[in-house]
Structure 1
Amino acid sequence: MPFGTDFDFTNMNVAVCIAALVSYGALYAWKARNSTKTLPHPPGPPGFPLIGNLADLPSQPAWIAYLKMGEKYNSDIIRLNVLGSNIIILNSAEAITDLLEKRSQNYSDRNEMVMLNELCGMGWGTAFLRYNNFWKDQRRAFQQDFHPEGVKRFRPIEEEETYLFLEKLLKRPEDFMDHLRHMAGAAILKIAYGIEIQPENDPFLYTAERATEAISATTNAGSYLVDVLPFLKYVPAWFPGAGFQREARVWKRYAMKMLHEPFEMVKHQVEIGVAPDCVAGSLLETMVKGAKDTGYMESVARGALASMYVAGADTTVSALGSFILAMVLYPEVQQKAQAEIDQCCSGRLPTFADYNSLTYCHAILREALRWNPVVPLAVPHRCSTDDFYKGCYIPKDSLLVGNTWAMLHDEAAYPDPLIFNPDRFIKDGRLNPEVRDPTVSAFGYGRRICAGRHMAYESMWFNIASILAVFNLAKAKDEHGVEITPSEEYIMGFLCYPQPFKCDIRPRSSELQALLEATRDNISSQT
């Protein structure tokens, strides 16, 4: 699709192509003449006049293509110049740490992200905001409830939604990915807004899922040409080649509903004194009420709350989907985890009281986040001032992309990285501090690290422990009784998910099934 994802320059509408290049050519030539030409840039493909490395932007999986590009140029930092925009890929933990972590003051900004923020209406998203006071205020809103101790307040909700999820696995195990998606969305919407969503076809959940589609489609650097040539945002939707405008119009409708509808509902509940215990009610009372500029602070709260779903729902689904795939492919890992759970939780299901005891479940979660990262390429960081690194010049406004996949598949840190092996994180029965923790990179970098990471991690750990306590996960069989081995292929995008696969999910015993039902009934009677 012109100007869309997996952009193919040779297929771009000719009229728009000529207009874009003619309009941009003079500016690009001027920038080239006036740049600091004597300073060495990071290595990369030579490119072509005017368009630079536009033709070198890889299709999915881009993270592997960038890693190979780095190997070709014998560098862990490579450069692409796309129509004058400087894109720098960081392919190692050292480069990512040195720049995005240690120099975070200079690398915490974002690019304008015209397609996502302006055209799709997602400019309120905490992860995509420019590094300014509005972003800082949103981070403060997150930190009010999502610091390591604060997230413990939400454990009862996570437990309740997990047990509902397990019940659905009992009834319709073949729909496990749909159940995961419903569980993750239900937990976050209840935590953020106090919303009890419907068992099926919930309108709030549908709106949020449609809005987050825009993020997966548009966020990787170079996905849409309008992010490189911002003037294209003025091209009318009817113009040949402007399909991106029509896509954005659909996504924006859901983005606005996601931002406003649940917030207005809680705001009204607060006004009449019937608001449930939730983050929205807390922010309205502590940040908005009594603020010098209530309108501004309310917009901060709106954006932070809607961002909670963006930050947590799809990432949880991806990571737990990878976990289930791994258990099917590596039954010995599953058996080892179940032995630990049985020893620790004899006669009951795991609880958060077992958080520090079920070490192997932590190792499985770390490996799931490492094996197939939820976000293989980090959201691009923007350089605020000129910089130098390893003798290379990094101009102001460059976009730096952390290749998380490359970092988490570094053979020096993780031998046999394509193999799912939680034991790599274990030493003498404990988590080995000498092995790099994948959560350090799985949730982003520097000052832009995910503010909801503590709750997300706890929720995923509890789901892993609970699933393994109750169920056996194995390869499905065809009509002839032959095992079906999943392909290990993924749906590629900014967020990645396992391709749909079949597996056999059934209770480990009738006693454990009865225990699940009794535990669920006990929780229901208390809520």
Structure 2
Amino acid sequence: MEGVRILIFYVAVPSLLFSALRQLLSWRKRNTDSIKSIPGPQQFPIIGRVHDLNRFCMWKKFKEWADIYGPIYRTSMLGQHFIIISDEKIAEELLVKRGHIYSGRPQIRALFDHKTGPGYVALMDRHDIWTRQRKWVHAAMAEFHRHHFFGVIESEVKRYLAILLLDPEKFHANTREHCGRIMSRLAWDDASIGKENADSADCTLTQMSVSGPIVNTMTPLWAIPWAFNPWKKFERAREDQQRSWWLHSFHNAKQKFLRGDLPSGTWANRYFTGLQKQGNLTLDQSHQDEEFASCMLGFQNLVGVVTISGPLQFFLMAMMLHPEWQEKAQAEIDRVCGNRMPTTADIPDMPTVRACLKETLRWRSGVPLGVPHQAEEDDEFRGEKILKGTIILACEWSMNRVVEKYPDPENFHPERYLEQGWPTYQEPLSQYPNFRDGVGMHTFGWGRRTCLGQHIVMNEMFVSGAGVLWAFNLKRKMCPKTGRAIEFDSEATNAHVILEPLPFPCDFQPRSPERTAQVLSGYAEDRAQHQE
């Protein structure tokens, strides 16, 4: 093993030295330019400011720099230029109004060919494959939202509540699987692969995160020859397994469709129905077309896990840590629903629950760095050139802590959306607050790169979160020795580009024997109906 490490070192050194020389020459040239109008921390040759950044909580350093250098500043890391934004108007100016320039995606070193597709539409450059997949997903999401996702969310929440009742200690893993089951049913009509879906989503997120493989920050290491490159070997195996699984699920769904057994409330059914409307009655396709479709449905399936599991767990945390808001939300749920579980139809009637959900996404940003954009051509802003290839980060963590808009930003205040006098208050309360529009809706990205899943995130988080509060009281876990509440770090996360909190203790106490019976009977009825 020691010999292999030495060999890797010697293979990597020439690449590192070449990169250093190139960046030194580039740095000398840049220093002959005019004074920059966009401020930023002092840059050091070659490394920029990479030494300042903790890759497990990079957003906190960016917030610290924003407090010093203002709402837009520049920095660099190992030769890569960055523009960091913590102001919504500036982000809108660059990422929305100039979206034709700033809608590229940077290369994630630990992934193969993601910019060309067809694997991950959210990570592709803008080209024909991206356009075709995004157009189809947009239409599918809109159609399924009109049909309240065909009752799949409510069905799976019944199971989720029963699992929380029977096995509360594993609520972190079960929450992730719950999200995986919903998306797998919607994609392929196969909830049984929900855990596999959730695990695949987590592994994919690890690969694309700064906190993941070291090659995502020390990019020259990726150039190590295949025989000595553990990162390439791991990624090749991971991606091949994921593509194979997606294609297998696609083929299974196709056979069910041809037999007439695939429910209409699945994205696969919608896709196959579209093929038949075009005259392809037997659904015969080339391998390339099948790969295109299986990746489109597979990634839509996968991304719905990672965008919901973390925020939902943070919501449970917020309700446990703020019992006064838990009680207010439960009072609203009881008033509207009585003895039945909440559904998507109740969303307009529960502004308090919606406020708690939205404040959760502000208080503990699910995507604290934002998903990076990349300049597709040279541009100029405030008199300074922004070069093609510059990465633009609209830093969600910083935006959510602008005091003028979010007074007392470090603390949990759902009333900021419910009471007049707060900068974020909007009417009517039957519509606001929500995840889709209105004040503070930058959680889902910007411009041509806005996430297409806003409706399902809102519906799934609402029914899941309100369902838990309908069934349970969330309490702090008590230490059996001291009798005091067990302390934990509410900001401790997996540090992925989309966050989940690290496991924290929580006690799920059924609100009454009657609710316990309703949870169990509701799940039994749903299971019998779907023959699970």
TM over 0.5: yes
Provide the residue aligned with 1:472 in structure 2. 473
Q: 1:105–1:91: structure 2 CA closer, same or farther, 3 Å change rule?
A: same
Provide the residue aligned with 1:65 in structure 2. 61
Q: 1:314–1:368: structure 2 CA closer, same or farther, 3 Å change rule?
A: same
Cα pair 2:201 2:306 within 8 Å, conserved: no
> What letter corresponds to residue 425 of structure 2 in structure 1?
N
Provide the residue aligned with 1:47 in structure 2. 43
Q: Distance between the aligned counterparts of 2:190 and 2:144, measured in 1?
A: 23
Q: Distance between the aligned counterparts of 1:322 and 1:195, measured in 2?
A: 27
Cα pair 1:107 1:384 within 8 Å, conserved: yes
2:339 alignment partner, one of 327, 331, 347: 347
Q: Which stretch shifts more, 110-119 or 24-33?
A: 24-33
Q: Distance between the aligned counterparts of 2:37 and 2:117, measured in 1?
A: 33
Q: Which stretch shifts more, 322-331 or 349-358?
A: 349-358
Deviation string 1:87-141 (CA, Å, 9 cap, x unpaired) is 2211222222221122212111112323224399986111101111111111111
Q: Distance between the aligned counterparts of 1:12 and 1:357, measured in 2?
A: 64
Are 2:82 and 1:87 aligned?
A: yes
Are 2:122 and 1:127 aligned?
A: yes
Q: Distance between the aligned counterparts of 1:515 and 1:397, measured in 2?
A: 56
1:381 alignment partner, one of 325, 350, 373: 373
Q: Distance between the aligned counterparts of 2:301 and 2:520, measured in 1?
A: 29
CA shift for structure 1 position 254: 3.3
1:321 alignment partner, one of 313, 326, 341: 313
Q: Which stretch shifts more, 368-377 or 113-122?
A: 113-122
Provide the residue aligned with 2:491 in structure 1. 489
Partner SS for 2:238: helix
Are 2:225 and 1:236 aligned?
A: yes
Partner SS for 1:78: strand
CA shift for structure 1 position 207: 5.5
Partner SS for 1:376: coil
Provide the residue aligned with 2:270 in structure 1. 282
Q: 1:12–1:381: structure 2 CA closer, same or farther, 3 Å change rule?
A: farther
RMSD: 3.2
Q: Distance between the aligned counterparts of 2:197 and 2:465, measured in 1?
A: 27
Q: Which stretch shifts more, 306-315 or 44-53?
A: 44-53
Are 2:244 and 1:251 aligned?
A: no
Provide the residue aligned with 2:443 in structure 1. 442
Q: 1:54–1:507: structure 2 CA closer, same or farther, 3 Å change rule?
A: closer
Q: What are the residue-to-residue correspondences of 1:427-466 with 2, within 5 Å?
A: 427=419, 432-433=425-426, 437=438, 440-466=441-467
1:262 alignment partner, one of 249, 274, 292: 249
Q: Distance between the aligned counterparts of 1:188 and 1:379, measured in 2?
A: 21
CA shift for structure 1 position 31: 4.6
Q: What are the residue-to-residue correspondences of 1:38-437 with 2, within 5 Å?
A: 38=34, 40=36, 42-72=38-68, 74-118=69-113, 124-147=119-142, 150=145, 152-197=147-192, 202=193, 205-206=195-196, 209-220=199-210, 224-225=214-215, 229=219, 233-239=222-228, 242-277=229-264, 278-286=266-274, 290=278, 295=286, 297-427=289-419, 432-433=425-426, 437=438
Are 2:515 and 1:512 aligned?
A: yes
Q: Distance between the aligned counterparts of 1:119 and 1:136, measured in 2?
A: 15
Give the TM-score taking structure 1 as reference length. Answer: 0.87
Cα pair 1:108 1:383 within 8 Å, conserved: yes
Deviation string 1:186-235 (CA, Å, 9 cap, x unpaired) is 010000111131xxxx5x632652354232343349975467757x5442
> What letter corresponds to residue 274 of structure 2 in structure 1?
T
Q: Distance between the aligned counterparts of 2:59 and 2:245, measured in 1?
A: 30
CA shift for structure 1 position 14: 4.6
Q: Distance between the aligned counterparts of 2:73 and 2:8, measured in 1?
A: 30
Cα pair 1:220 1:494 within 8 Å, conserved: yes
CA shift for structure 1 position 387: 1.6
Q: Distance between the aligned counterparts of 1:399 and 1:494, measured in 2?
A: 15
Cα pair 1:291 1:297 within 8 Å, conserved: no
> What letter corresponds to residue 257 of structure 2 in structure 1?
V
Partner SS for 1:393: strand
Deviation string 1:240-273 (CA, Å, 9 cap, x unpaired) is xx44234424432433234322112212333444
Q: 1:294–1:106: structure 2 CA closer, same or farther, 3 Å change rule?
A: farther
CA shift for structure 1 position 343: 1.4
Q: 1:294–1:162: structure 2 CA closer, same or farther, 3 Å change rule?
A: same
Q: 1:115–1:487: structure 2 CA closer, same or farther, 3 Å change rule?
A: closer
Cα pair 1:363 1:426 within 8 Å, conserved: yes
Cα pair 1:119 1:249 within 8 Å, conserved: no
Q: Distance between the aligned counterparts of 1:319 and 1:178, measured in 2?
A: 14
Q: 1:415–1:448: structure 2 CA closer, same or farther, 3 Å change rule?
A: same
Q: Which runs of 5+ in 2 are unaligned?
A: 1-5, 428-432
Q: 1:281–1:227: structure 2 CA closer, same or farther, 3 Å change rule?
A: farther
Q: Distance between the aligned counterparts of 2:214 and 2:90, measured in 1?
A: 26
Q: Percent identity?
A: 28
Matched residue count: 508
Q: Which runs of 5+ in 1 are unaligned?
A: 1-10
Q: Distance between the aligned counterparts of 1:365 and 1:468, measured in 2?
A: 12
Cα pair 1:115 1:218 within 8 Å, conserved: yes
CA shift for structure 1 position 16: 4.4
Q: Which stretch shifts more, 84-93 or 36-45?
A: 36-45
CA shift for structure 1 position 475: 0.8
Provide the residue aligned with 1:3 in structure 2. none
Provide the residue aligned with 2:430 in structure 1. none
